A = this chain, B = another copy of it.
Amino acid sequence: MLYDFRSFVNPGAYAFGKGTFNHLGELVERRHENSDSWTVFIVDDYFKGKSLIERLPKKDNDLLIWIDTVDEPKTTLVNQYRDEILAHNTKLPSVIVGIGGGTTMDYAKSVGLMVTNPGDSAEYQGLDLIKNKGIYTICIPTISGTGAEVSMTAVLSGPEKKLGIKCDYTIPNEIIFDPELLATVPDEQRFYTGMDCYIHNIESLSGTWVSTLGQVFAEKSVELCREVFLDSNLSRIDADEKLMAASLTGGNSITYSQVGVCHALSYGLSHVLGVHHGVGNCVAFNQLEEYYPEGYKEFKKMQEVQGVAIPTGITANCTEEQFDQMVETAWALEHMWDNAFGKEWRNHITKAKIKELFRRM
């Protein structure tokens, strides 16, 4: 186990249900101390020109930062956004609002911390390296499954590694779960991100690090994933509300457990090939029947019911050097292997085996 003992900080507050996004203005206002208090909105650029933007409670002195989500979040961009915020006003912002998927929320979480912690964000990749608490952060998922909205990790790709900033302060202070915001997510993307949730539950439940509380949250989250992706009788809005609850409980579960083989491999795909995290998980899990036989079977069934075909051949043109880089990225995630196989994990997996798995993807 990574922690001998830890008291895990919970996300600050949840506003959950249809229409809760309409109350964002009140929640922001509550955190403004003075008339010159201001807010940073960090928003997925998918929403450029969309009606959601007209609903933002944005004032003249506020700052809006658009996030290009083609790439996974990078430490260099975190630094850049932080500089932009510091240049915008001599006073620090009172609130940071992150609106989007895992990438956008991870930017909001880490930018909120970097505003109050000096230096390069890459220096903080790891556990408990952050010294000062950040700006009050409200996360608003517009796609569900990553668990980023409730997790104590903001995953970042740095110059050297893909590794999260992880500490008590990385957890958002408030989360608005409004299933209406999921209405326009394309089916395929919804599936990939939903599977991120399903897969981390499976990794949590079959891992050696699982605790009773991690198990409780993961079991419920798996049930909800089943309802969402196997039960065709649910309306889209009802399914989306359940998917938000699945993401919440799945994210909670990871706090009290750990991910495993699939996430380690998926980090390799993201870091070297720039594959999006949800897609990377699906591509990797598609080759992991031997490690997660039951979860794999259900995953295939969900693909079938949802009519989604997982990409194949994405490593077909990789060089030997790229394969080696992916292997090294995955291999370095010792806590994930330790969770999957126990302390003696090096007896259960080799770099050669990992490379073979990458070749099959």
Contacts and interface: CB of A to CB of B under 8 A. Distances in A.
B14 A8 contact: yes
**Among the interface residues A10, A176, A245, which one has the most CB atoms of the partner chain B within 10 A?**
A10
Given A5-B23, A11-B10, A17 B220 contact: no
Given A212-B245, A216-B249, A256 B7 contact: no
Nearest to A18: B212
A77 interface: no
Interface string A3-17: 001111111111111
A20 interface: yes
A219 interface: yes
For the complex of A and B, 5 pairs with smallest distance between CB atoms: A7-B15, A10-B10, A220-B220, A7-B13, A16-B213
A17 B211 contact: yes
- Copies of this chain present in the complex amount to 2
Given A220-B216, A245-B216, A13 B10 contact: yes
A219 to B, nearest CB: 7
Interface string A241-271: 1101100110000001000000000000000
A174 interface: yes
Contact of A212 (B10, B16, B27): B16
5 contacts: A6-B15, A7-B15, A10-B12, A213-B248, A216-B249
A241 B211 CA distance: 10
